[in-house]
Amino acid sequence: MSLPRAIDVAPGGTATDFIELSYEARLLRRRRLETASGRSILADLPGAVSLGDGDRLLLDDGGRIEVRAAPEDLLQVTGDLARLAWHIGNRHTPCQIDAQRLLIRRDHVLADMLRGLGAELREVVEPFTPEGGAYGHGRTMGHDHGHSHG
């Protein structure tokens, strides 16, 4: 028996089940997934998609699966947010920007840099929904400036 296939993505709406995926796992094209109820599905999308928290995977059998951002090990960054966000962005690091804090994945090198810039850091476990790329593609993929970051 073949698995139901997720063939498209829609923002919001009703859902018959849900799946929790990390930030990395939400970049998806083709993969076997298991929903919260234990149902196996096959993501078989036409191209790689960056799924957002709350998106729906549309199944070929008519089902709709809600995508939820899974809790992850993160660093909460507080301080001069504009300055700190600039330095984080300069490292091409995914960053969730909230009114009073920034969230990044735990990384001891970035943590040392941010402490050196006066940031206060706290380890947290929360869903991670970083900002999308500058051109609306959903992800900051990084790029080469033609020189190394020092």
Condensed to tens digits (0 to 9), the pLDDT of residues 3-21 reads: 899 999 999 889 999 999 9
Residues 65-113: pLDDT tens digits? 999 999 999 999 999 999 999 999 999 999 999 999 999 999 999 999 9
- Is residue 135 predicted with pLDDT exceeding 50? no
For the record, the structure tokens of 50 come out as 């960056």
Residues 13-67: pLDDT tens digits? 899 999 999 999 999 999 999 999 999 999 999 999 989 999 999 999 999 999 9
DSSP at 85: H
Residues carrying CATH 3.30.70.790, the chain: 72-127
CATH architecture, domain defined by 72-127? 2-Layer Sandwich (3.30)
Nearest-angstrom CA–CA distance, 22 and 33: 12
Residues carrying CATH 2.60.260.20, the chain: 5-69
The set of long-range contacts for 85-89, using a CB threshold of 8 Å and a minimum separation of 24, is 87/113, 87/114, 87/117, 88/114, 89/140
Buried b (16+ CB within 10 A) or exposed e, 105-127: beeeebbeebeeeebebeeeeeb
Please provide the CATH number assigned to the domain covering 5-69.
Answer: 2.60.260.20
